[in-house]
Structure 1
Amino acid sequence: MMSKISAGLERAFAARGFAEPSVEDLRDAAGVSLRTLYKYAPSRADMVLAALENRHQRYLSHVFDGLPDDAEEATDTILARVGIWMATETSHGCLFHAAVAADPGSDPLHRLLERHKAEVATKASAATGLAAAETDLLVIIEGLTQAWPLHGDAAIDAAQRLGRALRVSLA
């Protein structure tokens, strides 16, 4: 039940932001009664966290599952998948950053943002064989996320060039 609720909440917040959807809108997006929604997510803050946890798992799966074994090909694939995510899931930037911007005093949101970005960096460095370059890879991925709304596929191409240049610089 919680996965259904979380998925619905994620869709609602991704489409309408964190301030606009009413509780009734969130209930409808989750496809449950108000009582059930509050049973699983007793506050709006809990609803946001549930939505972002769902988003976190979906993003990691989308970007990192079934990558090629070749490290250079894996780098290009990761960055292409980030671009696909931007095109299909959110063209407005990172939902985690948007959540923190909407509630900057929330420690749980800050911790979730930090965990999400750390896991992305760790998985990227492991998949690409660039163990010493977690921060570098995260900067490339974050740059792609921010540049994609303005530059689309050109941002993917640029990120892939940067990924290849990073590999050469560390060789």
Structure 2
Amino acid sequence: MTETRDRIVDAADALYYGRGIGQVGMDAVRDTAGVSLRALYKEFPAKDDLIVAVLDKRHGTWTDGVTDAVERIDDPRERLLAVYDYLAHWFDEADFRGCGFINAFGELGAANPGVARAVRAHKADFQRYVAKLVEAAGAPAFLAPQLAILAEGAQTTAAIAGTPEAAGTARAAASTLIDAAFAHGAS
């Protein structure tokens, strides 16, 4: 990516996440990024192109954050729970506004195939990651979608409630599910 492209994507990300995609025009992105409208449209001929670039950036940020949190832990069971610890940290950030992917899909998903594809790919990637963690822990495969849906629900709940408690609640539920899955696998 070029420096100009990065500035535009960073500006759009902050604006879209804070105000909503539909509330932000290209002029606002231009002003925030400190670039000319010509430079903006050279990098992103259409707003849809910029939205997908923002989602790509968010995917990398999310993936790096979750992976970093998990990789700090050695115990396979605790690695499963580290996902919720990451959520707790994220939910406590002053600018937390929920999952940018869920927000984008809620605004544009059915009407914008590019956004729908990006959101679905992101969510599928997270589910595959959780499945790998479950497999590495030696737990039954049915646990993975359960843990993933808990994480998704926690994100939505935290955004709507405006409080970070959903991460702790999801972590406690995940712990119960993990224990039950291991007990089921042992029988």
Partner residue, 2:125: 119
Structure 1, residues 92-127: CA drift from partner, whole Å, max 9, x if none? 322212212222221111111111111111112323
Q: What is the percentage of aligned positions where both structures have the same residue?
A: 24
Partner residue, 2:173: 162
Aligned length: 171
Displacement of 1:89 in angstroms is: 7.0
Structure 1, residues 43-94: CA drift from partner, whole Å, max 9, x if none? 1111111111111110111111234121222122211111222332753322
Does the Cα contact within 8 Å between 1:141 and 1:159 map onto a contact in 2? yes
> Which residue of the other structure, out of 18, 30, 38, is the alignment partner of 2:21?
18
In structure 2, the CA distance between the partners of 1:131 and 1:25, relative to structure 1 (3 Å rule), is farther
**Unaligned ranges ≥5, structure 1:** none
Larger radius of gyration: 2
Residues 134-143 or 79-88, more deviating: 79-88
Q: Does 1:146 align with 2:149?
A: no
Give me the whole-angstrom Cα distance separating, in 1, the residues matched to 2:21 and 2:7.
19
1:18-167 pair list within 5 angstroms: 18-65=21-68, 66-88=71-93, 91-103=96-108, 104-128=110-134, 129=137, 130=139, 132=141, 133-149=143-159, 150=161, 152-167=163-178
Does the Cα contact within 8 Å between 2:105 and 2:116 map onto a contact in 1? yes
Does the Cα contact within 8 Å between 2:91 and 2:167 map onto a contact in 1? no
Tell me how large the CA RMSD over aligned residues is. Answer: 2.0
Displacement of 1:136 in angstroms is: 1.0
In structure 2, the CA distance between the partners of 1:90 and 1:56, relative to structure 1 (3 Å rule), is farther
Does the Cα contact within 8 Å between 2:140 and 2:181 map onto a contact in 1? no
Instruction: Give the TM-score normalised by the residue count of structure 2.
Output: 0.82
Partner residue, 2:185: none
Give me the whole-angstrom Cα distance separating, in 2, the residues matched to 1:148 and 1:61.
21
In structure 2, the CA distance between the partners of 1:131 and 1:48, relative to structure 1 (3 Å rule), is farther
Residues 123-132 or 14-23, more deviating: 123-132
Instruction: Give the TM-score normalised by the residue count of structure 1.
Output: 0.88
**Which AA in structure 1 matches 2:152?**
E
